[in-house]
Amino acid sequence: MPRRPPRKVDPSLDLSRNFRHAEELPPTFDPQALYGRDGEWEVEMGSGKGLFLSTAAKLNPARDFLGIEIAHKFALAAAARLAKAGLTNAMLVSGDGLKLFHEWIPDNRLSAVHVYFPDPWWKLRHRKRRVLNEAFLKDVERTLIPGCLLHFWTDVEEYFQSTLELIPRACNLEGPLPVPEKPAEHDLDYRTHFERRMRLHDKPIYRAEFRKKL
């Protein structure tokens, strides 16, 4: 099911605390420059409209969150959601997440990595474009703090199963660990807008977690 386009962002909205182009990031990893502190840090690959980031940032004010979204319009829309909520512990980066993970995020630094409903790239000749590829999984293992988790959800069973098969070949994460589905308490009690759409249409969602070994 394709993503619906985001709403236009109010040009008067101040996004200075919540949005960066990848080229505007500090040349080396520097949480102080981004958030004014150096605490626990989580990254979401492919943030869409930013529902997960905004919810997680509200619930965990002591943690800092970075969303990476390659689609510029979606990155701006997600940043606008954060700005409207006054959240200073979450930021969107518009750019290539695979490149950022490989070149910019240091070893043993992330408290969690989140990948929710990535593009399945249905055609066989396009499968190499999938986010959850061998190189990225190696970077996930490298950047996670020991004992911390990779969260992976998708509505595509083939993508889910092929990723479960790929992970033990690509890296040394423990899992898959089960993720129970909980009933939604209100209309936006979902990790992402895509999860909301799937569950409202009674579509299956495949969930797993993987832990970096201590």
Choice among 10, 38, 107, 119 that is catalytic? 119
Of 171, 160, 131, 141, which is closest to residue 48 (Cα–Cα)? Answer: 131
Is 202 assigned a catalytic role? no
Structure tokens at 114: 């989140």
DSSP state of 17: T
Q: Within the chain, how many helices (H) and strands (E) appear?
A: 7, 8
Beta-carbon contacts of 198 under 8 Å, excluding residues fewer than 6 positions away, are: 1, 155, 204, 205
Other C-beta atoms closer than 10 Å to the C-beta of 118 total 18
On whether the CB atoms of residues 101 and 30 are closer than 8 A, the answer is no
Give CA–CA dist 41/64, Å, rounded. Answer: 5
* Helices 51-59, 72-84: crossing angle, 10 deg rounding: 30
Cα angle at 7 between 5 and 12, to 5 degrees?
A: 145
Structure tokens at 5: 């386009």
Which residues are part of the catalytic machinery?
119
